[in-house]
Amino acid sequence: MPKSKRDRPVTLSKTKKKGREHKEIIVNGIREAVEKYSSVYVFSFENMRNIKFKEFRQQFRHNGRFFLGSNKVMQVALGRSASDEMRPGIFKVSKMLRGDAGLLVTDMPKEEVESLFNAYEDSDFSRTGSTAVETVELKEGPLEQFTHEMEPFLRKQGMPVRLNKGTVELLSDFVVCEEGKPLSPESSRILRLLGIKLATFKLNLVCRWSPSDFELYREGLDLSDVETS
């Protein structure tokens, strides 16, 4: 009887090698970009949406590159200290790669980069598990935005509803979500049905490096934190 393909062992050394090769590709890509372009920016992001980020990146397609991934890998590419940095002073950029962050390496004038980042903001529906930024409550009474066919689905989401002469009726006040609390799958679905977008996809500049200077954008960051190796 032939062996099942499902039973074939996976060589861990191969998976580790692929992971190492992927990291090397990222490191080499960052280093090549830093040699090619004149400025390096660190940016943070909130409520990342891949499709919308791809659209934003198109504005830099002719004169820049974006990098997202492991902060540690990006730090290795740039250098974590003055002793191993690839360009003078660029280890300061590594110090700012914290949390949800990425790199932009570009030749675009500083003023244009700042304008594009500051102007960009896009609303979207909140995902399950994200924190509600406000409380949404529905009052008792008819819900005329919903058709009668949706009444069973709304009940499955925990809403106290019934059909009253073909109209969906809410039997009591219902809190869809509470500010500061994580969204349940049901809350997320109801907000989408209501057309309420509570998530804002935003990109925030953190710092900028060039061969001649280093600049912090975010308030509360202390330049002394990155001055030492």
Domain ranges in the chain? 21-125+200-227, 130-196
pTM, whole model, 2 decimals? 0.72
Cβ atoms of 214 and 92 within 8 Å: the answer is yes
CATH code assigned to 21-125+200-227: 3.30.70.1730
Taking alpha carbons only, the member of 133, 142, 168, 135 closest to residue 154 is: 168
Cβ atoms of 34 and 86 within 8 Å: the answer is yes
| Cα(121)–Cα(30) distance, integer angstroms | 26
Instruction: Write the pLDDT tens digit of every residue in 10-29.
Output: 444 444 555 788 889 899 99
Strand partners, 65: 105
Flag whether pLDDT at 223 surpasses 70. Answer: no
Instruction: Write the pLDDT tens digit of every residue in 44-101.
Output: 988 888 888 998 999 999 999 999 989 999 999 999 998 999 999 999 999 999 999 9
- Residue 198 tokens read as 């509570």
Residue 228: pLDDT band by 50, 70, 90 thresholds?
low
Percent of the chain with pLDDT over 90: 69
CATH code assigned to 130-196: 3.90.105.20
* pLDDT given at position 47: 83
